[in-house]
Structure 1
Amino acid sequence: MKINIIGAGLGGLLSAASLAIEGHEVEVFEKLPITGGRFTNIEYHGFSLSTGALHMIPHGSTGPLGNLLRKIGADVEIVPCKPMAMIRIPANGANDYKSGFKDISFNQYGSQFSMWNRLKLSILLITTRRWPPKNISFENWIRKYLNEDSAHKTANSFCGWALSLTNRDVPAEEAFEIFENLYRYGGTGIPMGGCKGVTDALVEIIRSNGGIIHKNTEVSRIIVKDNTARGVIANGKKHYSDIVISNIGHPFTRDLYESGTIDNAYEEKINNAKPSAGIKICLAADKPLIGHNGILLTPYCRRINGINEVTNTDPNLAPSGKHLVMAHQSVQQENIDKLEEEIEIGLQDLKEVFPNNKYEVILTQSYYDGWPVNRASSGSDIGNITPIDNLYVVGDGAKGEGGIEVEGVALGVMNTLDIIKQLYVE
């Protein structure tokens, strides 16, 4: 089959590589001069900064992305994070870091709670794995069953780091699907070479199997006839195909075609699938600020949700003798017009998190609108199918249930490949 793919981000490259090794004729169209989208590296003063994700894979080599990379033979080494995550909590029961702090393991976060709530939490975790809560936000679930401020703050930090959302914006059912995946797949890992190490390996697979990647080539129209995708128009030229896969999210995909009928249910889903926004602050330090390769969750910061220090695993991501530290904070929709203020609060948070450490802020990056953290926030994903036959959507606007960031991208790609195989191959 001939398959056209719109966008050379992670979802598009995963789809193209998977289809190319099966012998399909694949063409990828990317409007930027680079491949990888929000999952590659940019070089800045000797540091390999990421265009989006934080050089980290949520479920390491054993999760959906790691398994898919291994299945298609991608030459990527993913180093497990040990510890997976730590939580920085205030010392002496304070409500901020100004009077000191200590780090506890993510697996021991319940130690902050009262004895009664620790027992209750154990029972709740067992029951919710079997009967996930419905029609309630994660925040309301926590306040209803635990009523622990530390639990609320920790959940908010985790959701901000992993999803760029507050826990009030995450359905409890989706949150517990995410936690179930932590039990199922395991914890975090760091790809050697950073994000670019992954996407470059995918590009190599595509090209070595006869696939074509067109850079600086923007798709202006999806060719639709009889409600079926027949190809794309890119840079004024028609490229016909049997299937079209889009990696640019449902709204932008919908703008590229005209259909004889309007699917009102689909349009409503598009309107409800809001993107998530965030800010990343990149630091350079002569000495380690964290000292391990896992995540440092910071629930008592005003804005910063979490921090990682990937140079403890891959020192080549920074100049010799330097460390790269990356902090992330979610941004709520009402604050997108106040990004400078949000960044300043995040910078003040970092001064409290690292009060006695020397570091330099080398870059701040904002993710919103057309370059968001996720094109559809977790719990509002539309899925991979569109109202147009032979047209599918992958990427962070069409993730699988419980899929954190790139793991969700991999789940969505695998689902799309299964649909294509069932409909067109078997």
Structure 2
Amino acid sequence: MRVLVIGSGLGGLLSAACLLRAGHEVDVFERLPITGGRFTNIEYKGFQLSTGALHMIPHGPTGPLGTLLRYLGSDVQIVRADPMATIRIPIEKDSTDYTHGFQDIDFHDFGKRFSLLNKIKLTVLITTTRIFPPKKGSMADWCSKNLKDDWALRIADSFCGWALSLRAKDVPAAEVFEIIENMYRYSGSGIPLGGCKGVIDTLIDVITSCGGKIHTSSEVSRIIIEDKKAVGIVTDDGKEHRGDIVISDIGHIETSRLYDANMATEDMEKYLTSIKELKPSAGVKICLSSNEPLIGHAGVLLTPYARRINGINEVTNIDPSLAPPGKHLTMAHQCVEWENLDRLKDEIDLGLSDLAEIFAGKDYEVLLIQSYSGEWPVNRASSGTDPTNKTPFEGLYIVGDGAKGKGGIEVDGIALGVRNAIKDILNQKNQSID
């Protein structure tokens, strides 16, 4: 088969590498002059800052992305973070901020802050919910109904904000428990050496060594549909490229703008109606420079008592090359609720105030503030609302952060979605990705 891939983000490059490894011909078309999309590095003041995603893989070397990279023969090294995560809490139990000091507890000890009754409830609920996950309602609803505890909602908001760029009220409880199941299945996070670009560079090596082609500064202006099948693309220079399969890494909504959506079929109308309801998740990342470690480990520091910051990591505790010699790179992330997108500066100011409290007495510099929304969001489809990788047209697939696999966090979710799409494509040729 000849495969045409739109977009060279992580989803597009993973798809291209998988199909080349299976012996097919692949061309990747990227509108930007660089590859990697929101998963690569930009050099700034000697630091390797990421264009979007943090320099972190949620499930480390044994998760969906780490496993897929090994399958492709990638030589990128992913180092497991230890501890996986800690939680920063006020020293005074009834305090709602860090002004009286704080302490860090291990993520696995979050249940110790519940009342005895809720500890018992939590033990029973986690066991039963793994077998019978909730069918409806948000994670916030689940916490209110089952635990009725402010701590439960705070920790849910912090985790969902960090991992999904959403408040707990905006995430289906079923999706959160599938994520928890994946944490049991794959374990905790890891840092790829070289950061995001370390992963992208190794995928480009795989693609080029297998004869694949990546066309940068080449924007796709149209997807060619004939007899309800995707048969090619047209680039902005007017050139037509024919193929057997088209894979898009730009999400369902942006992809639909590249073909004639006026094909009046019931399936098409249902599909277009469903994707119009998708809401991208939005967030802000604040990058900090310091001479001394601000956290002291490379896992996640969750901040449930902050006003806006959901979590922070310090990747230079594993990979010092991501900062100039003698410096540390710390990245804080906060979700931005949909109703606050028109007040982005205020949201950023609240995040900066949080950091001043969280790192009170520490010496650091704000390197760069990056915001992600609109056409450059955190996720093109918020977690729990991801459509499948399929479209109403034969041979047209969607990958990337707009079509993640169930229970997939960030780039591991992208890898799950890619695996689902590639498995379906290869089945047509009696091939397997396993």
Q: Please, what TM-score do these two structures have when normalized by structure 2?
A: 0.97
The whole-number CA distance in structure 1 between the counterparts of 2:259 and 2:92 is: 59
Matches within 5 A, 1:38-53: 38-53=38-53
Matched residue, 2:56:
56
Matched residue, 1:148:
149
Matches within 5 A, 1:316-331: 316-331=321-336
Matched residue, 1:99:
100
Matches within 5 A, 1:54-133: 54-93=54-93, 94-133=95-134
Matched residue, 1:168:
169
Q: Which amino acid aligns with 2:320?
A: P
| Corresponding position: 1:291 with 2:293 | no
Matched residue, 1:211:
212
Of 273, 277, 282, the residue aligned with 1:277 is 282
Q: Which amino acid aligns with 1:297?
A: L
The whole-number CA distance in structure 1 between the counterparts of 2:78 and 2:429 is: 33
Match of 1:375, SS state, is: coil
The whole-number CA distance in structure 2 between the counterparts of 1:273 and 1:320 is: 43
The percentage of counterpart residues that share the same residue type is 60
Which stretches of structure 1, 4 residues or more, deviate above 4 A after TM superposition?
none
The whole-number CA distance in structure 2 between the counterparts of 1:425 and 1:137 is: 40
Instruction: Write the deviation string for residues 304-348 of structure 1: whole angstroms up to 9, x where unpaired.
Output: 000000000000000000000000000011111111111100000
Matched residue, 1:258:
260
Is there any run of 5+ residues in structure 1 with no aligned partner, and where? none
Instruction: Write the deviation string for residues 72-110 of structure 1: whole angstroms up to 9, x where unpaired.
Output: 111110000000000001112111111111000111100
| Corresponding position: 1:414 with 2:416 | no
Q: Which amino acid aligns with 1:290?
A: I
The whole-number CA distance in structure 2 between the counterparts of 1:326 and 1:294 is: 12
Matched residue, 2:396:
391
The whole-number CA distance in structure 2 between the counterparts of 1:218 and 1:424 is: 29
Matched residue, 1:35:
35
Deviation at 1:122, TM superposition (A): 0.5
The whole-number CA distance in structure 2 between the counterparts of 1:33 and 1:299 is: 39
Q: Please, what TM-score do these two structures have when normalized by structure 1?
A: 0.99
Q: CA RMSD in A?
A: 0.8
The whole-number CA distance in structure 1 between the counterparts of 2:343 and 2:67 is: 40
The whole-number CA distance in structure 2 between the counterparts of 1:256 and 1:52 is: 24
The whole-number CA distance in structure 1 between the counterparts of 2:399 and 2:29 is: 14
Deviation at 1:261, TM superposition (A): 2.5
Number of paired residues? 426
The whole-number CA distance in structure 2 between the counterparts of 1:98 and 1:346 is: 15
The question of whether the paired residues in 2 share the 8 Å contact of 1:272 and 1:380 is answered with no
Deviation at 1:22, TM superposition (A): 1.5
Matched residue, 1:242:
244
The whole-number CA distance in structure 2 between the counterparts of 1:352 and 1:101 is: 10
The question of whether the paired residues in 2 share the 8 Å contact of 1:41 and 1:51 is answered with yes
The question of whether the paired residues in 2 share the 8 Å contact of 1:292 and 1:312 is answered with yes
Matched residue, 2:343:
338
Instruction: Write the deviation string for residues 267-289 of structure 1: whole angstroms up to 9, x where unpaired.
Output: 12202221000000000000000
The question of whether the paired residues in 2 share the 8 Å contact of 1:175 and 1:402 is answered with yes
Match of 2:333, SS state, is: strand
Instruction: Write the deviation string for residues 104-157 of structure 1: whole angstroms up to 9, x where unpaired.
Output: 011110011111101110000000000001111100100111111011101100
